[in-house]
Structure 1
Amino acid sequence: MATASDELAEPKRFRFPTAFTILFGLIILVAALTWIIPAGQYQRVMNEALGREVPIAGTYTEVEPNPQGIFDVLMAPIAGIYNPVTNEANAIDVALFVMILGGFIGVITSTGAITAGISKAMITLKGREKWMIPVLMGLFAFGGTTYGMAEETLAFYVLLIPIMIAAGYDAMTAVAIILLGAGVGVLGSTVNAFATVIASDAAGVPFTTGMTLRLVILALCWLACVLYVMRYAERVRVDPSRSYVYDLKEENEQHFLAAYRTEQQPEFTTLHKIVLAIFGLTFVVMIWGVLFAGWWMGEMTALFLTSAIIVGLIARPGEKEFVDSFINGVRDLVGVALIIGLARGIVVVMDAGRITDTILHWAEVSVGGLSEVVFINVIYWIEVLMSFFVPSSSGLAVLSMPIMGPVADFANVGRDLVVTAYQSANGIVNLINPTFAVVMGALAIGRVPYERWIAFMWPLLLILTVIIMACLSVAALI
């Protein structure tokens, strides 16, 4: 038993700050910069395609400074959600959408439909476990590309790891199926509210713009991940000593297979099929509404609330259980909603301090001589760097897109392409990011040391980087 003196003697490990601390620190930093950076402003003109005013290149002039103080810093997170001074809504519609979406996912999860569906797929493919890899990675990628499936995947590791070990593979294979499956879906987000939708909103473009390119990136990167994992899995099955966790093989078999033999697999009922059909149909209706009915945050929020109620009426868990599952789902995403307001608070301080256009002017000057291809790849690597410090996709979106979006206008590159560069960069970093709780949690459950995950991942990271940069470059030329 550890004593108090032992705990005092044990050196404290460095823990990377959370996204909340990072973003609030950035608010303080930006407020300090308003005392240093010259204030300036562009002339603006209405862009009918975007439905908003955009800066006119070459019209930047310096204006009277308005440095931000302590009170402004404390008000910034509140004003990022709803500005009590101007009565202007900044992120409250997005924050509410995120929370209702969380409630919807909570209700779906509480029915057991997702777990039962995956279990059914495993049973169907028994004896052909190799083909579970593309099937499961496809299912997880769908979750990633539609609603940013991340923390929700942690429940599936204890279900999949013993099955893959029993099939002659290893824990690394199972972790890769789930972590890469959902991760590549986020990397190639299509209707993901926590990446594409928020980033597009912050950049001032419809999130459906650029969808074709994102689908291409999703398909190519998913295929690369599937082939990579299948190749590794087959190599381990033929020669177990080639496993990255071979030294843990006996220990993992004792730990995971014992639990698997005693755990009853869930039945895939008609109710589960109906719930999953409603789940998929909801996203189809959302896409239709945005494309053809002029829907935006309010209508999409109402859609997910309606779908949650429909699932509750069909599953009939009871009024209290339904409300509890919905509230628990909302609770899981309250942090995301707060991050949106906190990150937009940075923009509030920058705008109030009149330095946003100055930074934009510096960016305009710095990319002035770059070709479209070089520009979009520079943006990609800037977002890669920023993703290590702000792993939250929603936090990084509202932090960087208000600046990067307008900069694209000066470089003659579509803002939607900048959004795609951002989400691809954030997605690929979060496959290995040690500041991303999902990565570290998954590796802990799978008993995979972090350095071995990096050894497994680095060739794939190079392949994915080439695919992404090639797609961005081709899109910039078109």
Structure 2
Amino acid sequence: MKQGFKVPHTLVLLLGMMLVALLATWVVPQGFFDTVTADNGRQMVVPGTYTLSDSRHFLTPWDFLTAIPRALAAAQDVIFFVFIVGGVLSVARATGTIDALIGRLLERFGHKPNVLIFMVVFCFALASGAIGTAGEYIPFVLILVALCKAMRLDAMTAVGMIIAGYGIGYGVSAFNPFTVLIAQQIAGVPVYSGLEWRLAIFVPFVLIGFHHVWSYGKNVLADPNVSLTRDLPCPLSGTNQGEYPKLNGRHQVILLGFVAALVIAVWGIATRHWYLYELGGVFIAWGIFTTLVGKLGADKAAGQFIEGVKDLATTAMLIGVARGIALILEDGQILHSLVYGMSLPLSHLGAELAAVGMLVIQTILNLFIPSGSGQAYVTMPLMAPVGDLIGVSRQVAVLAYQFGDGFSNMIVPTNAVLMGIIGMAGVPYHLWFRFCLPLMIKLMAAAAVVLVLAVSFGYGDDVQPKVATEVSQGAE
């Protein structure tokens, strides 16, 4: 009796979700919306065109098995980026740079962990909201985990800082090019419109995230036994407090190289549409630079790189399997059916409740469509005209999409970036879920209030397209 229920390994949980998805393809009606090709080549659904398939396509257990390697292949960009970052950070640590940096940060923030937590949450939220950064935070995971350990916090606090900033930044973004701008273009409202409202809610939502992480961290400082990760090994934990090397000139040059790599990465994202392949190349270049400046020698650097990669094999597998859930739903031809079925009840609600209903639907759908831009192309062509019929402006529909996509990024196991971050930090998914669920509830409650107020105040009415008549005729 004392043993109780043992939470399965994260890999078992993900495989179980894949199995549930497979079973769902046997019972959920299969159907499709017609799609058109947008200007950027992405497929966008056409509202009012949903039709059931003439015959059911059954996936078999063999399809389940082959979905696993296919999912690993589909998530290869994130997997290989995680491997590269882990290997390069291992090289950097061999030079003493990371330990010296941690020692320097401890001198500055050792007695002010609340300041550190706020700065990380705020800065990461700002970056995610402005340019859509997500996987770019992976290089910071091991550094922040080691720093938190030295400050008598834990890995959960480090992960909480990163993911709270990432998720809130996406959720209340003013001009994220991968979500807000795409959703506004699909909805037919001017890009960047409604900016003032989104800027106004940015800091309050950041404060919700900071308060949650700091409240947990404060409890861990007062009593280490309340740590959710107290019984787990901590990665990058070979240095005890008081043993940190001095930050010398060579370390500073290596860190300047890291800053330069980040600047180049941000420039590439903003101006050249770079993503993980290009960012991986940038970090490989920094690894070579670190090897030369740190005078490690080629053999030692190669050995350190491989050791760093080895440590992340489990993380890579979890990232790949997580992608398999959506893959099975797509293969089973029920993804559009789920979207269609969820959108139907909205037409029976008042405008305020319908806006909150959009938030709930977008949150649930992020489990099946973890790509922010992909979710916009599937859901916004449906939510925008539905909103026209029930009195929810298209600007509010975009805001509901933002909240649902961004906040749920922090908790859905199909999000490859989330699985990469918690995997690198050595935090099992079930413990992360336990930490994050209360934060999700707070953010969703605040988002629901904001949506109701937005409808009440007529947010977006000034840019609402005059299409209600056409939509009604199309719906018939």
TM-score, normalization by structure 1: 0.64
Identify which range, 59-68 or 264-273, moves more after superposition.
264-273
Match of 1:51 among 19, 23, 41: 41
Q: CA deviation at 1:374?
A: 1.8
Match of 1:62 among 42, 46, 52: 52
Q: Where do residues 324-473 of structure 1 align in structure 2 (5 Å cutoff)?
A: 324-368=303-347, 371=351, 373-379=355-361, 382=364, 398=370, 406-412=378-384, 418=401, 421-427=404-410
For 1:109 and 1:321, the matched residues in 2 are separated by 12
Give the conservation status (yes or no) of the 8 Å contact 2:87–2:309: yes
The code of the aligned residue for 1:97 comes to F
Q: Where do residues 129-278 of structure 1 align in structure 2 (5 Å cutoff)?
A: 129-130=111-112, 133-135=114-116, 137-139=118-120, 146-148=136-138, 149-150=140-141, 153-161=144-152, 178=158, 180-188=160-168, 219-223=203-207, 245=223, 263-278=242-257
For 2:216 and 2:163, the matched residues in 1 are separated by 18
For 1:91 and 1:125, the matched residues in 2 are separated by 37
Closer, same or farther: CA 294–335 of 1 in aligned 2, 3 Å: same
Give the conservation status (yes or no) of the 8 Å contact 1:141–1:186: no
**1:296 lines up with 2:271 in the alignment:** no
Give the conservation status (yes or no) of the 8 Å contact 1:153–1:178: yes
Identify which range, 149-158 or 19-28, moves more after superposition.
149-158
Q: Deviations over 1:309-361 (max 9, x none)?
A: 22222222222332233223333444343334323323332223222222222
For 1:134 and 1:100, the matched residues in 2 are separated by 30
For 2:97 and 2:342, the matched residues in 1 are separated by 48
For 2:222 and 2:301, the matched residues in 1 are separated by 43
Aligned position for 2:28 = 37
Closer, same or farther: CA 262–416 of 1 in aligned 2, 3 Å: closer
For 1:57 and 1:291, the matched residues in 2 are separated by 32
Give the conservation status (yes or no) of the 8 Å contact 1:45–1:53: yes
For 2:61 and 2:453, the matched residues in 1 are separated by 46
For 1:62 and 1:15, the matched residues in 2 are separated by 41
Closer, same or farther: CA 98–367 of 1 in aligned 2, 3 Å: farther
Aligned position for 1:86 = none
**1:24 lines up with 2:15 in the alignment:** yes
- In the alignment of these two chains, the number of paired residues is 397
Aligned position for 1:306 = 285
The code of the aligned residue for 1:266 comes to P
Aligned position for 2:262 = 283
Closer, same or farther: CA 348–116 of 1 in aligned 2, 3 Å: same
Aligned position for 1:6 = none
- Give the SS at the match of 2:36: strand
Q: CA deviation at 1:71?
A: 1.1
Match of 2:100 among 95, 106, 116: 116
Identical positions, percent: 21
- Give the SS at the match of 1:76: helix
**1:78 lines up with 2:69 in the alignment:** yes
Closer, same or farther: CA 39–136 of 1 in aligned 2, 3 Å: closer
Give the conservation status (yes or no) of the 8 Å contact 1:383–1:426: no
Give the conservation status (yes or no) of the 8 Å contact 2:87–2:307: yes
Aligned position for 2:464 = none
Give the conservation status (yes or no) of the 8 Å contact 2:359–2:401: no
TM-score, normalization by structure 2: 0.64
For 2:440 and 2:326, the matched residues in 1 are separated by 32
The code of the aligned residue for 1:78 comes to P
The code of the aligned residue for 1:411 comes to M
Give the conservation status (yes or no) of the 8 Å contact 2:92–2:287: yes
Q: Deviations over 1:266-321 (max 9, x none)?
A: 31222232223322332322222122123334323322222222222222222233
The code of the aligned residue for 2:33 comes to Y
Aligned position for 1:12 = 3
CA RMSD of aligned residues (A): 5.1
For 1:335 and 1:198, the matched residues in 2 are separated by 29
Closer, same or farther: CA 138–118 of 1 in aligned 2, 3 Å: farther
For 2:257 and 2:454, the matched residues in 1 are separated by 34
Closer, same or farther: CA 101–421 of 1 in aligned 2, 3 Å: farther
Closer, same or farther: CA 318–75 of 1 in aligned 2, 3 Å: same
Unmatched runs of 5 consecutive residues or more in structure 2: 126-133, 171-175, 186-190, 227-238, 385-393, 461-476
Closer, same or farther: CA 288–222 of 1 in aligned 2, 3 Å: same
For 1:95 and 1:216, the matched residues in 2 are separated by 36
For 1:349 and 1:246, the matched residues in 2 are separated by 42
Aligned position for 1:103 = 87
For 1:337 and 1:466, the matched residues in 2 are separated by 33
Q: CA deviation at 1:79?
A: 2.1
Aligned position for 2:235 = none
Closer, same or farther: CA 295–103 of 1 in aligned 2, 3 Å: same
Closer, same or farther: CA 246–424 of 1 in aligned 2, 3 Å: closer
For 1:198 and 1:22, the matched residues in 2 are separated by 29
Aligned position for 1:92 = 76
For 1:65 and 1:229, the matched residues in 2 are separated by 47
The code of the aligned residue for 1:61 comes to T
For 1:214 and 1:104, the matched residues in 2 are separated by 37
Q: CA deviation at 1:11?
A: 4.7
Q: Deviations over 1:50-108 (max 9, x none)?
A: 521111111111112110111111111122244xxxxxxx3333433333233333334
